[in-house]
C-alpha cells in the first residue's frame, strides 16, 4: 500500500513543503529512505520503530520504501519522524484515517516512547503551509505558540503520537491553538539602559538620533574610554518600532537558527555585536548546510562592530555586498540560498593605533604614516557606505558630575518614530523605506535643494576639504535632519548640521 | 681632476672629520697637493695618525671617488664645495662649515642675503602649525628665503607657507638627499626642489639617524640671518638650533605661547634668556630691512559685521578654549543641532578651522 503525508523543510529562511511517500510491499524486511536525507533523518528509522512498537501498534516486517519529495533538495533535521510514523501506519493499514490527510502538514520529532519533541524553524514552515493552502498543521506542543502567530491556518498542538493517531482516526479532537499577535507587539519591552545615563556627548547622541531616524550607517571615532561602546549599547533603545511584517521576518530568521529562546515573536529590533575574532562565514552565513550569519541575525536591526580595524580585513570586506543589496547570497554544494540582511551598521574605532590622536590631554605617539595605515584597514568602499562618521571625545569630570537634565531614550525615540513615519509615507510608491537607501535619481526627486542651499554646498566643498564622494551622503543626511524637524524642504541649517557628521572626509588629521 | 673633486674625495673619507679637513687644508693649501703627497710627506705634517694616512693612501686607488661621481651623475645630484663661488657666503663664516654640500634645485636662483630659518616642534599644536605657515608665507611673499629642516610639524608648515607665498625655500636634511624623510612629505619635497633647494652635507644614501640631526641644525642657522623658533618643548632640538644661532651670531626670534602648553615651554625659555619676542612677521622685518619702520601695530580690525549673535558667541567661547561642539553646547545651553549648524557656517566663512577634531580660530 502507498500513503502520502505532507511535511515541511527549511530552505534558506523559507519553509518548503515536502511530500513523505511511504510504500510497503511484501518482501524481506528492508527500510529504504531516499530523497537526500541527512544523518538525523536516516536515524529516524530507529525512533519511528520504537515509537510505533511502544504504543502497541504493529510495525510491518516488510519492505518499506520512503521518499522525501522533491528528491533533489538536501534535507536535514528531525522534522520527519512524525510524518514517517503516520505514513507507515497508514500504508500498512494499521490505522484508517477519518480525515483527508492531504489537507494536513505534520511536523515533529519522536522520542522512543512516542512523545513529540519541539523542532527549530516552526514559523517559516507554518507560513509555507499556509501559503500552500493547507487547512491545518500538526506541530509539537512546545512550538504551538510560535506557530499560532500565523493566521488563516489551524494550528493543532500535539504532545504524543497517540494523540495524533486518535485525531486522524476520528476518535478525539485537538483544540486549535490561538494567540493574539497584536498583543505581543503592543506590549513594549522595557530596556535596562537609557540614554539619560550618558552625560555629555551631545553631538554623538544627536548623530545617533539621525542615524536611527534615517537608517544611516554610522562610525564612531574616539580614544579608548570615551564611551563609544556605552553609547552603542543604548542605540537599540531609540530604534523605531517594528511593524508586524518586519517582526515576522526577523522571527523567521531566529526560528530557523533556534535562537528564539522561548519567545514566540521578536518584537524588538535585534542588536548584534559579534566579537572581532569572528570568521567570515559566521559573519555572513554559510556552512555545509547554510545557516544565517550575524548580518542576517541583525536583519532590520543593528550590527555593532566594536573596534572595527581589529576585524579581519576579509571579514569586513564581505560586508560590502549585503550593505549595498540588503541580502546575502550563499552558494554551497548543498544549496544556493539568499538570506535577508538589511542591517544598520554601527562601528567604533580609535583614530590611530595608540588611540589618543585627538585627545587633548594624552599626547599621541603615532606618525602620520601609522595613522594612515590604521585608518586604511577600513577600506574606502566600505567607508563609502557609512553615512555618518562622528567623533567621540572623552567626557570631562565636570560633565560626569553634572546633574543637569539629559534627554531620555523615550524623548529621542518619539522623534525617531515620527521621522520614520514621514519616510514610510513618502516612499510608499518606491521600493525603499529609509533616506539612507535613496539612489542618485531618487535624491534628485525627493531632496530638492534651493539656490541658497546649493551655494552653501559649493562653499562647503571649497572650504571644508570635503571629498567628492561625500556630496550625496550629506544631502541624504540633511533629508533625515529635515524629517526629524518635520520639514518638507531641506534648508541651510539642515545641510549645515549634516556637514558636521562627515569627519573622515575632511582629512582632519592633515594640515595641508 | 679638478680642485672640487679633490675636496669631494677627502670629504668622503670616514676617518677625516670636518675639523681635520680644515687643518689639512690650511697646512697643504689645496687638496690637490695633499692628494699627490707620498706617505712620508703625510706623516711628516703631524696632523694625521697612521689609520688616517692609510685610509688616504688606499682611497686613491680603490676607485671610490669615481664610483661616487658616477652615482651623483646618475641621481642628478649636484654638489658644492667650500671653494665654489656659489657656496653660500653666509655659511662660510660659521665654525666648521661643511666642506661639501649636496643639493637638488637651482642654487643660482636662491638668495641667502636675507634668509630666515623657521624651526620648531614635530608634534606641534594647531597654533604652532598655523603660525609657522603664516610667518613663512609673509616672509616669502616679501622675497625672503625661508630655511627649515623638512621635519614633520612646524618645519613642514614653514616650507608649505613659503611655497604658498611664492618665495624660495631651502630644506636642510639630516640624511642623504636621495632619501625622502619623513615619507609623507614626498610632494612637499618635490615642490621645494623646484622652488628652492633641498640640501644636505651628508652624501647620498645616508640614512636619517638621530645623531645626524643636531649637526644638521648648525647649517640651518648658518644659512640664515636669524632663526624663528615657533614652538619647542624644553628639550627640543630647536633649542640646539637656537644655541648654534647664537654661536654664529645670528638673531634668535621666539614666538610666545601659553605658559601651560608644553609645546611653548622652550620658546618661552628662549624669551626669558633674551631672544627677541615676535608677535608678527613685522618684528623680523625690522631687522632684515633696517629701513622698514616699525610703527606701533594697530590691532587688526575684527570684522564682526557679517556675524550673527550666535556666531559671535561661539567665536568668543572657542577663543576661551571651548574647542568642541559638546563643550559649546554645555556652555551656551543651546541645542546641539543649532551648534553644529553654526560651526559649519563659521567654517565656511573661514573664521574657524578643524584640526584633530577640535575647532580653532583661524
DSSP string, B108-165: GG---TTEEEEE--SS--HHHHHHHHHHHHHHHHTT-EEEE---TTHHHHHHHHHHHT
- Residue-range domain boundaries for chain B: 1-70, 107-288, 309-361
* Helical (H) or strand (E) element with A167: helix A161-168
Q: At residue B66, does pLDDT exceed 70? A: yes
Global ipTM: 0.74
CATH number for A80: 3.30.230.10
- Whether A119 and A24 map to the same domain: the answer is yes
Dihedral over Cα of A243, A245, A249, A252: its sign: positive
Contact residues, chain A, for B356 at CB < 8 Å: 357-358, 508-509
Choose the mutation target among B356, B358, B360, B362 for the interface with A, i.e. most A CBs under 10 Å.
B356
Here the cell at position A127 is 507560513
> Which of B123, B326, B350 is facing A203, going by the closest CB pair?
B326
Q: Is B329 on the interface with A (CB under 8 A)?
A: yes
Q: Residue A512's pLDDT band (boundaries 50, 70, 90)?
A: very low
Question: Which pLDDT does position B291 carry in this prediction?
Answer: 66
Question: How close does chain B come to A228, measured CA to CA in Å?
Answer: 15
Contact residues, chain A, for B343 at CB < 8 Å: 496, 500
β-partners of residue B197 are B105, B170
- Do β-strands A154-158 and A136-140 pair in parallel, antiparallel, or remain unpaired? parallel
Q: What is the mean pLDDT of residues B103-125?
A: 91
Least confident of A98-102, A460-464, B195-199, B308-312: A460-464
Q: Is B323 on the interface with A (CB under 8 A)?
A: yes
> What's the whole-model pTM score?
0.79
Contact across the interface for B183 and A369, Cβ inside 8 Å: yes
Q: Is A199 on the interface with B (CB under 8 A)?
A: no
Residue B175: closest CA among B189, B158, B195, B164 = B189
pLDDT tens digits for A357-410?
Answer: 877 777 788 887 788 888 888 888 888 889 999 888 887 777 666 666 788 899
In a domain, A43, yes or no: yes
Q: At residue B214, does pLDDT exceed 50? A: yes
Contact across the interface for A203 and B336, Cβ inside 8 Å: yes
Q: Is A246 on the interface with B (CB under 8 A)?
A: no
Q: At residue B293, does pLDDT exceed 60? A: no
Beta strand residue intervals within chain B, DSSP E: 78-81, 100-105, 115-119, 145-148, 169-172, 196-200, 226-229, 251-254, 276-277, 352-355, 358-361
Contact residues, chain B, for A360 at CB < 8 Å: 323, 358
Cα separations in angstroms, A480 against A100, A209, A461: 55, 10, 20
- Whether A85 and A174 map to the same domain: the answer is yes
Walk across the sheet containing B145-148 and list its strands: B78-81, B100-105, B196-200, B169-172, B145-148, B115-119, B226-229, B251-254, B276-277
Cα end-to-end span (Å), chain A: 86
- Whether A131 and A203 map to the same domain: the answer is no
- Whether A349 and A400 map to the same domain: the answer is yes
Residue B120: closest CA among B321, B286, B265, B277 = B265
pLDDT tens digits for B260-283?
Answer: 888 899 999 999 999 999 998 888
In a domain, A307, yes or no: yes
Report B:168-197 residues touching A (Cβ under 8 A). 182-184, 188
Distance, in Å, from the CA atom of B75 to the CA atom of A339, rounded to the nearest integer, reads: 59
Question: Which pLDDT does position A385 carry in this prediction?
Answer: 85
Contact residues, chain A, for B325 at CB < 8 Å: 202-203, 500
Question: Which pLDDT does position A440 carry in this prediction?
Answer: 87
Question: How close does chain A come to B182, measured CA to CA in Å?
Answer: 9
Contact residues, chain B, for A503 at CB < 8 Å: 357
Q: Is A206 on the interface with B (CB under 8 A)?
A: yes
> Which of A402, A492, A511 is facing B129, going by the closest CB pair?
A511
Q: Residue B19's pLDDT band (boundaries 50, 70, 90)?
A: very high
Which residues form the domain of A301?
195-437
Asked if A55 contacts A114 with a C-beta cutoff of 8 angstroms, the reply is yes
In a domain, A479, yes or no: no
Among the three residues A437, A454, A489, which one is the final residue of a domain in this structure? Answer: A437
Q: Which residue has the cell 534558506?
A: A12
Contact residues, chain B, for A219 at CB < 8 Å: none
> Which of A205, A364, A393 is facing B324, going by the closest CB pair?
A393
In a domain, A331, yes or no: yes
DSSP state at residue A12 = T
- Whether A160 and A290 map to the same domain: the answer is no
- Whether A217 and A86 map to the same domain: the answer is no
Here the cell at position B148 is 627649515
Q: Residue A251's pLDDT band (boundaries 50, 70, 90)?
A: very high
Contact across the interface for B325 and A368, Cβ inside 8 Å: no
- Whether A146 and A284 map to the same domain: the answer is no
Peptide bond into B209 cis (omega under 30): no
Contact across the interface for A368 and B129, Cβ inside 8 Å: no
Contact across the interface for B325 and A202, Cβ inside 8 Å: yes
Least confident of A133-147, A156-170, B308-322: B308-322
Region of residue A77 (left: phi > 0; alpha: psi -120 to 50; beta: else): left
In a domain, A321, yes or no: yes
Q: Is A311 on the interface with B (CB under 8 A)?
A: no
**Which of residues A242 and B148 earns the better pLDDT score?**
B148
Q: At residue B126, does pLDDT exceed 80? A: yes
Among the three residues A179, A213, A238, which one is the final residue of a domain in this structure? Answer: A179
Q: What is the mean pLDDT of residues A87-104?
A: 92
Contact across the interface for B344 and A511, Cβ inside 8 Å: no
Q: How many CB atoms lie within 10 A of CB B12?
A: 14
In a domain, A353, yes or no: yes
- Whether A212 and A131 map to the same domain: the answer is no
Question: How close does chain A come to B210, measured CA to CA in Å?
Answer: 16
Contact across the interface for B160 and A503, Cβ inside 8 Å: no
Contact across the interface for B337 and A391, Cβ inside 8 Å: no
Contact across the interface for B350 and A351, Cβ inside 8 Å: no
Contact across the interface for A393 and B344, Cβ inside 8 Å: no
Contact across the interface for A360 and B358, Cβ inside 8 Å: yes
pLDDT tens digits for A181-201?
Answer: 777 777 666 788 898 888 888
In a domain, A137, yes or no: yes
pLDDT tens digits for B161-202?
Answer: 999 999 999 999 999 999 998 888 999 999 999 999 999 999
Contact across the interface for A201 and B326, Cβ inside 8 Å: yes
- Whether A202 and A329 map to the same domain: the answer is yes
Q: Is A394 on the interface with B (CB under 8 A)?
A: no
Question: How close does chain B come to A369, measured CA to CA in Å?
Answer: 7
For residue A146, the SS3 value is: helix
Contact residues, chain A, for B336 at CB < 8 Å: 202-203, 205-206
Q: Which residue has the cell 552565513?
A: A285
pLDDT tens digits for A75-85?
Answer: 888 899 999 99
pLDDT tens digits for A6-31?
Answer: 999 988 888 999 999 999 999 999 99
Contact across the interface for A459 and B184, Cβ inside 8 Å: no
Report A:89-118 residues touching B (Cβ under 8 A). none
- Whether A160 and A217 map to the same domain: the answer is no
- B107-288 has which fold? Rossmann fold (3.40.50)
Contact residues, chain B, for A227 at CB < 8 Å: none
> Which of A206, A391, A463 is facing B357, going by the closest CB pair?
A391
Q: Is A353 on the interface with B (CB under 8 A)?
A: no
Cα separations in angstroms, B64 against A52, B14, B57, B70: 98, 12, 12, 10
Q: How many domains are contained in chain A?
A: 2
For residue B184, the SS3 value is: helix
In a domain, A311, yes or no: yes
- Whether A112 and A202 map to the same domain: the answer is no
Among the three residues A437, A455, A470, which one is the final residue of a domain in this structure? Answer: A437
Q: Is A405 on the interface with B (CB under 8 A)?
A: no
CATH number for A354: 3.40.50.300
Report B:130-159 residues touching A (Cβ under 8 A). 133, 152, 156-157
- Whether A306 and A406 map to the same domain: the answer is yes
Question: Which pLDDT does position B302 carry in this prediction?
Answer: 54
Q: What is the mean pLDDT of residues B18-39?
A: 90
Q: Residue A326's pLDDT band (boundaries 50, 70, 90)?
A: confident
Contact across the interface for B341 and A509, Cβ inside 8 Å: no
Residue A48: closest CA among A75, A10, A79 = A79
Asked if B257 contacts B131 with a C-beta cutoff of 8 angstroms, the reply is no
Q: At residue A419, does pLDDT exceed 50? A: yes
- B309-361 has which fold? Arc Repressor Mutant, subunit A (1.10.10)
Distance, in Å, from the CA atom of A89 to the CA atom of A68, rounded to the nearest integer, reads: 17
Q: Is B350 on the interface with A (CB under 8 A)?
A: yes
Amino acid at each position: 500500500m502507498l500513503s502520502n503525508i505532507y511535511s515541511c523543510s527549511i530552505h534558506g529562511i523559507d519553509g518548503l513543503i515536502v511530500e513523505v511517500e511511504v510504500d510497503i510491499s511484501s518482501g524481506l524486511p528492508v527500510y529504504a529512505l531516499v530523497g537526500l536525507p541527512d544523518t538525523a533523518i536516516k536515524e529516524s528509522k530507529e525512533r519511528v520503530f520504537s515509537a510505533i512498537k511502544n504504543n502497541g501498534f504493529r510495525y510491518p516486517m516488510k519492505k518499506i520504501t520512503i521518499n522525501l519529495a522533491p528528491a533533489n533538495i538536501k534535507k536535514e533535521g528531525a522534522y520527519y519522524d512524525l510524518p514517517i510514523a503516520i505514513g507507515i501506519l497508514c500504508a500498512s493499514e494499521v490505522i484508517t484515517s477519518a480525515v483527508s490527510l492531504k489537507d494536513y502538514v505534520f511536523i515533529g520529532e519522536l522520542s522512543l516512547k512516542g512523545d513529540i519533541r519541539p523542532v527549530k524553524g516552526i514559523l517559516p514552515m507554518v507560513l509555507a503551509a499556509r501559503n500552500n493552502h493547507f487547512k491545518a498543521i500538526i506541530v509539537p506542543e512546545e512550538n504551538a505558540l510560535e506557530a499560532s502567530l500565523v493566521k488563516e491556518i489551524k494550528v493543532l498542538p500535539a504532545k504524543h503520537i497517540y494523540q495524533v493517531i486518535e485525531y486522524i482516526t476520528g476518535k478525539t479532537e485537538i483544540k486549535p491553538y490561538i494567540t493574539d499577535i497584536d498583543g505581543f507587539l503592543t506590549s513594549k519591552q522595557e530596556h535596562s539602559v537609557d540614554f539619560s545615563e550618558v552625560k555629555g556627548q551631545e553631538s554623538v547622541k544627536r548623530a545617533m538620533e539621525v542615524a536611527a531616524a534615517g537608517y544611516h550607517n554610522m562610525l564612531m571615532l574616539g580614544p579608548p574610554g570615551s564611551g563609544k561602546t556605552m553609547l552603542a549599547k543604548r542605540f537599540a533603545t531609540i530604534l523605531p518600532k517594528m511593524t508586524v511584517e518586519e517582526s515576522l521576518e526577523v522571527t523567521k530568521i531566529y526560528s530557523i537558527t533556534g535562537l528564539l529562546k522561548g519567545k514566540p515573536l521578536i518584537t524588538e529590533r535585534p542588536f548584534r555585536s559579534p566579537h572581532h575574532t569572528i570568521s567570515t562565514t559566521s559573519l555572513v552565513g554559510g556552512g555545509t548546510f547554510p545557516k544565517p550569519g550575524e548580518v542576517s541575525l541583525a536583519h532590520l536591526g543593528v550590527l555593532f562592530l566594536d573596534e572595527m580595524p581589529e576585524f579581519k580585513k576579509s571579514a569586513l570586506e564581505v560586508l560590502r555586498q549585503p550593505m549595498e543589496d540588503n541580502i546575502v547570497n550563499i552558494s554551497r554544494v548543498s544549496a544556493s540560498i539568499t538570506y535577508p540582511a538589511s542591517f544598520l551598521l554601527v562601528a567604533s574605532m580609535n583614530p590611530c593605533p595608540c588611540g589618543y590622536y585627538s585627545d587633548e590631554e594624552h599626547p599621541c605617539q603615532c606618525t602620520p604614516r601609522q595613522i594612515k595605515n590604521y585608518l586604511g584597514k577600513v577600506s574606502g568602499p566600505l567607508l563609502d557606505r557609512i553615512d555618518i562618521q562622528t567623533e567621540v571625545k572623552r567626557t570631562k569630570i565636570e560633565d560626569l558630575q553634572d546633574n543637569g537634565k539629559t534627554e531620555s531614550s523615550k524623548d529621542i525615540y518619539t522623534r525617531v518614530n515620527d521621522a520614520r513615519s514621514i519616510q514610510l509615507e513618502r516612499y510608499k510608491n518606491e521600493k525603499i523605506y529609509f533616506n539612507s537607501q535613496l539612489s542618485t535619481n531618487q535624491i534628485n526627486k525627493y531632496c530638492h535643494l534651493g539656490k541658497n542651499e546649493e551655494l552653501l554646498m559649493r562653499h562647503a566643498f571649497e572650504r571644508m576639504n570635503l571629498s567628492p564622494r561625500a556630496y550625496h551622503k550629506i544631502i541624504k543626511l540633511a533629508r533625515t535632519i529635515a524629517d526629524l524637524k518635520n520639514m518638507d524642504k531641506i534648508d541651510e541649517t539642515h545641510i549645515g548640521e549634516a556637514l558636521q557628521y562627515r569627519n573622515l572626509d575632511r582629512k582632519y588629521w592633515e594640515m595641508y | 681632476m679638478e680642485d672640487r673633486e679633490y675636496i669631494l674625495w677627502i670629504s668622503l673619507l670616514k676617518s677625516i672629520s670636518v675639523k681635520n679637513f680644515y687643518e689639512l687644508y690650511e697646512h697643504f693649501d689645496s687638496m690637490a697637493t695633499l692628494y699627490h703627497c707620498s706617505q712620508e710627506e703625510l706623516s711628516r705634517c703631524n696632523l694625521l695618525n697612521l689609520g688616517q694616512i692609510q685610509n688616504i693612501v688606499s682611497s686613491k686607488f680603490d676607485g671610490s671617488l669615481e664610483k661616487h661621481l658616477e652615482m651623483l651623475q646618475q641621481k642628478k645630484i649636484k654638489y658644492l664645495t667650500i671653494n665654489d663661488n656659489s657656496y653660500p657666503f653666509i655659511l662660510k663664516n660659521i665654525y666648521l662649515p661643511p666642506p661639501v654640500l649636496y643639493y637638488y634645485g637651482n642654487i643660482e636662483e636662491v638668495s641667502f642675503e636675507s634668509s630666515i630659518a623657521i624651526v620648531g616642534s614635530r608634534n606641534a599644536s594647531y597654533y604652532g602649525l598655523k603660525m609657522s605657515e603664516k610667518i613663512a608665507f609673509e616672509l616669502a611673499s616679501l622675497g625672503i628665503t625661508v630655511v627649515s629642516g623638512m621635519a614633520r610639524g612646524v618645519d613642514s608648515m614653514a616650507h608649505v607657507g613659503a611655497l604658498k607665498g611664492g618665495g624660495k625655500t631651502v630644506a636642510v636634511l639630516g640624511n642623504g638627499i636621495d632619501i625622502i624623510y619623513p615619507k609623507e612629505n614626498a610632494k612637499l619635497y618635490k615642490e621645494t626642489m623646484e622652488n628652492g633647494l633641498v640640501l644636505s652635507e651628508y652624501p647620498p644614501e645616508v640614512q636619517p639617524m638621530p645623531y645626524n640631526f643636531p649637526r644638521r641644525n648648525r647649517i640651518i642657522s648658518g644659512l640664515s640671518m636669524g632663526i624663528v623658533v615657533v614652538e619647542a618643548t624644553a628639550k627640543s632640538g630647536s633649542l640646539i638650533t637656537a644655541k648654534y644661532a647664537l654661536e654664529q651670531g645670528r638673531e634668535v626670534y621666539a614666538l610666545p605661547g601659553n605658559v601651560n602648553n608644553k609645546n611653548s615651554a622652550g620658546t618661552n625659555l628662549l624669551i626669558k634668556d633674551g631672544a627677541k619676542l615676535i608677535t608678527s612677521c613685522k618684528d623680523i622685518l625690522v631687522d632684515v630691512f633696517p629701513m622698514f619702520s616699525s610703527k606701533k601695530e594697530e590691532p587688526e580690525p575684527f570684522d564682526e559685521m557679517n556675524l550673527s549673535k550666535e556666531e559671535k558667541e561661539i567665536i568668543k567661547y572657542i577663543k576661551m578654549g571651548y574647542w568642541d561642539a559638546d563643550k559649546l553646547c554645555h556652555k551656551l545651553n543651546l541645542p546641539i543641532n543649532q551648534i553644529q549648524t553654526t560651526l559649519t557656517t563659521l567654517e565656511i566663512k573661514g573664521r574657524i578651522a578643524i584640526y584633530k577634531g577640535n575647532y580653532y580660530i583661524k
